Amino acid sequence: MMSRIWGLWSWLHPSIDALFARDITFSERWRMLLLLQPITYMTYALTCSPWLFSRAFTTEYITVDTGRMFRILVFKAKDNTSKPSHDKLRPLHLDVHGGAFMGGKPESDARFCDLLARTTGAVVISATYRFAPAHRFPAAIDDIDAVVRFLQANAAQRWAADPALMTVSGFSAGGNLVFAATQQPACHAPAPTAIKAAVTFFAVVDLRLPPQEKPRPLDAKGNDRSPKNDPMAALIPLMDSYAVRARKDHMNDARLSPILAKLETLPKDILLIVPAIDIAVHEQLTFVERIKAEIEADPNVKGKGRRAEAVVYENAFHGWTYGEYFDNFTENC
């Protein structure tokens, strides 16, 4: 019953929020009803259909310390069936899906999470969060922070996974959230539960500017590589709805814009997968180059083996690893 209720809400949440949520503008409401809802139907059908009859995960519901309940997907390698034991704990990995902070499902990253669990033996958790515009900043990061705390407190007993060997990944908005989650003291050194590494895909790490004002992706000749007729342009007010009201008061907040995070609060190893045809390309490369410069400038930090790298795919666009592009992407990595 819980799964049915949750599933129905997840498919209809744009319409439900548009009709009943408070403090949403008229501009946001009609876009949610007429634009976001049809897109949600289409993308969720594509996301969920591969797992209708054969699933690489189990679905669980957890209640975090804020009192909220969240649906998560749990991926384990086939040989990871032993009962929890402190001397047999597996690495722990948290993945956070994208969706411009206004939607998405953990199933969208299922192929990646399944691959990660099978190839590393880690227990991989794919989590979700509350969506804008019904829930604006800091709702999403508050939720992921709470999920992280839950994993740190319960992963060993519940899934035989070690919170002291935790890594994270995120796609698009999820990349923002996993970097922002490292700002919790228990998630960075010297805490024993410090997140050890992060990999993100087309992460949105700087929300100080709205989407339409971000630097455009340019080719070698300085020409704009972004689409001339962007089919998603009408959704920009929704894409900015998570940050728009918080921007003025949180201009220097790394929980909103992780590009501002101090080096010591970030994981030891960082890898950004960056498509070149993306309005977020500039902020991602700026983020990595700043971290690398700080590592090089401090001999003590450099000696601790910190790494930060970006892999740029010249002909790739935001979201290109989803669907049919996933197999080609993994072969090239």
In a domain, 5, yes or no: no
In a domain, 4, yes or no: no
In a domain, 260, yes or no: yes
Instruction: Kindly report whether the global pTM for this prediction surpasses the value 0.85.
Output: yes
pLDDT tens digits, residue range 263-305?
Answer: 999 999 999 999 998 999 999 999 999 999 999 988 777 667 8
In a domain, 130, yes or no: yes
Q: Which residue has the higher pLDDT, 324 or 315?
A: 315
The pLDDT-based confidence of 79 (bands split at 50, 70, 90) is low
Q: What is the CATH number of the domain that holds 228?
A: 3.40.50.1820
Domain extent for 323: 58-332
d(CA 4, CA 54): 18
In a domain, 22, yes or no: no
CB-based burial label for 12 (10 Å; 0-12, 13-18, 19+): middle
**Which range among 23-32, 82-91, 232-241 shows the weakest confidence by mean pLDDT?**
82-91
Going across the sheet that includes 269-277, the strands are 58-63, 69-75, 123-127, 90-96, 161-171, 197-201, 269-277, 307-317
Whether the pLDDT of residue 333 is over 70: the answer is: no
In a domain, 220, yes or no: yes
Question: Considering its fold, how many domains does the chain have in total?
Answer: 1
In a domain, 46, yes or no: no
pLDDT tens digits, residue range 95-148?
Answer: 999 999 999 999 999 999 999 999 999 999 999 999 999 999 999 999 999 999
Amino acid sitting at position 308: A
Our CA angle for 325, 327, 329, nearest 5°, is 65
In a domain, 29, yes or no: no
